[in-house]
Amino acid sequence: MAYDGKDKVLEEVTGKSYEFGFTTDIESDKAPPGLNEGIIRLISSKKEEPQWMLDWRLEAFAVWQKMEEPDWPHLQYKKPDYQAICYYAAPKQKKQLGSMDDVDPEMRKTMEKLGISLEEQKRLSGVAVDFVMDSVSVATSFKKKLGELGIIFCSMSEAVKEHPKLIRKYLGSVVPTKDNFFSALNAAVFTDGSFCYIPKGVRCPMELSTYFRINESGTGQFERTLVVADESSYVSYLEGCTAPQRDENQLHAAVVELVALDEAEIKYSTVQNWYPGDAEGKGGVFNFVTKRGICHRRSKISWTQVETGSAVTWKYPSCILKGDHSVGEFYSVAVTNNAQQADTGTKMIHLGKNTHSTIISKGISAGKSHNSYRGLVQIMPSADNARNFSQCDSLLMTDTSGAHTFPYIEVKNPTAKVEHEATTSKIGEDQIFYCLQRGIDEEQAISLIVNGYAKEVLNQLPMEFAVEAQKLLSISLEGSVG
């Protein structure tokens, strides 16, 4: 190869250890490992849930027991032992918090290390953070301000108690419990998550944000997020993840449901940086997430994701375009390094007339990782004049990594216009040569090219998040890229 320097640089990349690998020492209240009806009853009673919620969980559990773990993704991993996982762990501290000062100083330190100090967030960025640590919501800020507008933004357990009507109407309406293996598991054992409701005609004045963090060793994280945007409302929702270093694999099986009623708009952005495992692929998080939104008439759902972490990712944020003139968007950057594996993409299901969808997916594979795009564009007979544009590009950084594309296109309406393009290539040596000629060193040159390559997606992120996303992109490929 013409650039020996690059190999060296790539070695540095693989040598880079996980920066956020620290553990918070907080006593936690933990259920014994294993999964049975008893555990589900325990979770439900710990959370002081009403009977209907328990029934719903038990039904999901019954369905899950009959299901098989899918093996169609282009992934290779040792299937987790679901009986060895602890399904409930909550920080013991239980008293109500009046102000930030009441928060456990250990936990606050953790947040500061993550760069999401609540005070700072409050003052500078105007972001309301619903901070989830090991499944229980500890601090919810800006709640009052949102309350004035009628916006509900709270933890799922609180919502179950205080807004049962909304929860019973929408929970499981987009991702039914029997949708897939992981969604059924999640429905049975989810411990917390976020709920957000934007009333009619309200434009949420700030970006809503949730941080997830797997903390307790050997625990799984099963969040449930539900965002309902009532008619003509708007919300931008951010989700970010970092996890501390652990040797055994940790399971993350979340479900996210979005409901955009007539003329509403939801923008959902994710930066995912769970612990990816070490250079040999030991440890790391299994990220098996079901994300789906339903669009009613003239509404819009936009998914943006920057995926840099997790040992194994299985994730397809999707849109069901049910209403006429609804719009679905999916923007994704997925970076895999070392032994990471990602099988990610989207589904756009067109049911309504004049529905539009756009898919932009950028994959970057380094080390000996494998990065797959798997997508479905389905135009049903009722979807007259549906339109889809898909673009999937892959960038290969090493000759040991892989990039794969599995797009499914199913069209049952003759008025549909569907376009799909995909390319796979490596960074052009002529591009690097051009930069070198102009005094830009190789490391910067690669960084420049990768940033330009991912720009289309990064531009979709809200300002506050774009900075963090770029930071994560750099960490993931540091030494050579970013």
Partner 1 sequence: MTGMAKPIVMDLERKPNIHLATQAKGEALRAALVALRSGTGLAAEYLDALPVPHRRVERWKHTPVAGFWSTYEAPQVQTVLAAGCEACPVPGLHAYRMVFVNGTFDPAASDLPVHNGVQCAPISMSDSPPREAGDLEATEWFAALNQAFAIEGMRLHIKKGVVLDRPLLVHHHTHGPNSANFLRHEITVEANAQVQLIHWSTADSQASGMVNIMTHIEAATGSHVALDKVQDEAGKLHHLAFEQINQAQSTQVRVHTGTIQGQWVRNDLNFRLDGEGCDSVLNGFFLPSGNEFVDNHTTVDHCAANCTSSEQYQGILYGSSSGVFNGKVFVRPNAQQTNAYQQNGNILVTDKSKINAKPELEIYADDVKCSHGCTIGQFDEEALFYARSRGISEAEAKAMLVNAFIGDVLDGFAVPEVRMELEHRLATKHGWDTWNDTLEAG
Q: Which residues are at the interface with partner 1 (CB under 8 A)?
A: 71-72, 74-78, 249, 277, 280-284, 311-312, 338-339, 341, 368, 370, 379, 381, 394, 396-426
Whole-angstrom distance, CA of residue 230 vs CA of residue 261: 5
- Give how far Cα 82 sits from Cα of 9, 79, 175, 178, 240, Å: 39, 9, 21, 18, 25
In angstroms, what is the minimal distance from the CB of 29 to partner 1? 29
Q: Computed from CA positions of residues 357, 239, 289, 55, in that sequence, does the dihedral angle turn out positive or negative? A: negative
CB closer to partner 1, 85 vs 171: 85
> DSSP readout, 357-410?
EEEEEEEEE-TT-EEEEEEEEEE-TT-TT-EEEEEEEEEE-STT-EEEEEEEEE
CB closer to partner 1, 225 vs 398: 398
CB closer to partner 1, 101 vs 399: 399
CB closer to partner 1, 157 vs 310: 310
CB of 275 closer than 8 Å to CB of 285 = yes
In angstroms, what is the minimal distance from the CB of 246 to partner 1? 12
In angstroms, what is the minimal distance from the CB of 245 to partner 1? 15
CB closer to partner 1, 105 vs 414: 414
CB closer to partner 1, 220 vs 402: 402
Q: Which of 89, 26, 20 shows the shortest CA–CA distance to 271?
A: 20
Residue carrying the six token digits 């299994």:
286
CB closer to partner 1, 213 vs 370: 370
In angstroms, what is the minimal distance from the CB of 424 to partner 1? 4
Could you tell me how many helices (H) and strands (E) the chain has, helices first?
12, 24
Cβ within 8 Å of residue 199, ≥6 positions away: 149, 150, 151, 230, 233
In angstroms, what is the minimal distance from the CB of 418 to partner 1? 4
In angstroms, what is the minimal distance from the CB of 15 to partner 1? 16
Whole-angstrom distance, CA of residue 52 vs CA of residue 57: 9
In angstroms, what is the minimal distance from the CB of 378 to partner 1? 9
CB closer to partner 1, 2 vs 463: 2
CB closer to partner 1, 39 vs 243: 243
Q: Quick one: which H or E segment has residue 333?
A: strand 327-336
In angstroms, what is the minimal distance from the CB of 355 to partner 1? 15
Cβ within 8 Å of residue 54, ≥6 positions away: 40, 41, 44
In angstroms, what is the minimal distance from the CB of 66 to partner 1? 16
In angstroms, what is the minimal distance from the CB of 411 to partner 1? 5
C-alpha 188, offset from chain centre: 20
For residue 117 the two structure tokens come to 């100090």
CB closer to partner 1, 227 vs 418: 418
Beta bridge pairs of residue 194: 155, 225
E runs forming strands in 230-317: 234-242, 250-252, 255-260, 265-273, 285-295, 300-307, 312-315
Cβ within 8 Å of residue 461, ≥6 positions away: 269, 271, 304, 306, 469
